[in-house]
Structure 1
């Protein structure tokens, strides 16, 4: 269920496409079509993923594995599909639940990306500030080339360049740390709800989830304990927990984006502004002190 970073963009883009496809499959299954027939109808309508799935099915691959082979968020859908078919849970309801979870996860990622766009763009713009100072000095007529031969001037340029590099690395790490997660929040709760909706026991549901690489989290076990104590339906409680986890993920992402604006002031004050002084201001002062004429 985990994804590597090189696939992040493809997975995120795929989630937008997968949700409508899963809803179409759910509608056709509710109309009485078999899963294979539903996939074939999608393939005939021009869906490229459905064509690939049907092609793999013709080669003898199991349907859930054929879906998972499409990669990206399809692996999550395939895992839910496999759990539902194993325990006998309603497949159409399962597909709708997974589609909603994927759509909400993508909306969360979109919200965080939009919130991060402004501080990230500002950080990139400020990073060029020392070079702007150099251009300004050249326009004013200072002979900055003469400062390179001066040991103090050369040391200033080297120190300023190192500070610019440090600021760029620091800023990039801060922005990367604030990026939204590639995982789908509340997925373990959703999968456990799917398994239990098939009428199996909790130990059996955990065994089935283990076959697709999912294990119930601490929140899921708290919900199961609450269900046993209060006599409330565990499936609905788990689905409510999944929605709550997705809401928390959205709020957490927005908070990280808001905090990024203030955290970016650290590399600005510690690295970028000193680099501005060392690369832009110090050579001009050395040029004046050395008596280099200024060409206006």
Structure 2
């Protein structure tokens, strides 16, 4: 059973730094960091250490996508800081579901007296199942990605084939108004195709349950 400690407000500079940097982080990196955090925290709790001390000992072994997240959580472990608030503040919009679940487990452990280690095991199992599903989806989407790149390169291959046959496609494309129009339209359509394929693949990846 854990006991409640006095909450301390999170440092404002760390909040601002986390808000600026979290946009560049990938959800997969956050999921891996959360898994490492849950595993390390469970090991420290199993060794008999209190939650705040266990978290402080586990943090140095976790590679968060941003240093602000690690500093924020480490600051929350000092002098009975508000760990759930720090976890929620550090969690990004995409990829931070595990940290928010961990925050909820921490609050339940404080308010209801539930064993934090047991709650952590459930969170870790859910995250591992989600990560396995995400990797499976990524493997299945590798084919469409490669096909899209191949189709985007076909016009260039066509130009090379025309040159090999003794034609002068570049002279028409670069030296004639109609050729310039065709080149511009073709490049625009090629870019739109790549963007649309990337958008579809990204949506399929982000649709994975967390």
| Normalised-by-shorter TM-score class | 0.5 to 0.7
2:118 matched residue in structure 1: 93
Please say which of residues 113-122 and 33-42 is displaced more in the overlay.
33-42
Any unmatched runs of 5+ in structure 2?
1-21, 64-69
CA distance in 2, matches of 1:75, 1:165: 38
What TM-score results when the alignment is normalised by the length of structure 1? 0.50
2:193 matched residue in structure 1: 167
Q: Is the CA contact (8 Å cut-off) linking 2:37 and 2:62 kept in structure 1? A: no
Deviations 1:95-123 (A, max 9, x none): 11111111111111111111111221221
Q: Is the CA contact (8 Å cut-off) linking 2:56 and 2:77 kept in structure 1? A: no
Q: Is the CA contact (8 Å cut-off) linking 1:77 and 1:98 kept in structure 2? A: yes
1:155 to 172, 181, 184: 181
Is the alpha carbon distance of 1:182 and 1:79 closer, same or farther for their aligned partners in structure 2, counting shifts above 3 Å? farther
**Matched residues, number:** 175
2:39 matched residue in structure 1: 20
2:84 matched residue in structure 1: 64
1:266 matched residue in structure 2: none
2:99 to 74, 83, 100: 74
CA distance in 2, matches of 1:145, 1:63: 63
What secondary structure, in the 3-state scheme, does the structure 1 residue paired with 2:77 have? helix
Q: Does 1:122 align with 2:147?
A: yes
CA distance in 2, matches of 1:15, 1:138: 54
Larger radius of gyration: 1
CA distance in 2, matches of 1:126, 1:26: 53
CA distance in 1, matches of 2:56, 2:170: 71
1:35 to 44, 47, 51: 51
CA distance in 1, matches of 2:40, 2:151: 43
Q: Which of structures 1 and 2 has the larger relative contact order (alpha carbons within 8 angstroms, sep 6+)?
A: 1
Q: Is the CA contact (8 Å cut-off) linking 1:19 and 1:103 kept in structure 2? A: no
RMSD: 3.0
What secondary structure, in the 3-state scheme, does the structure 2 residue paired with 1:141 have? coil
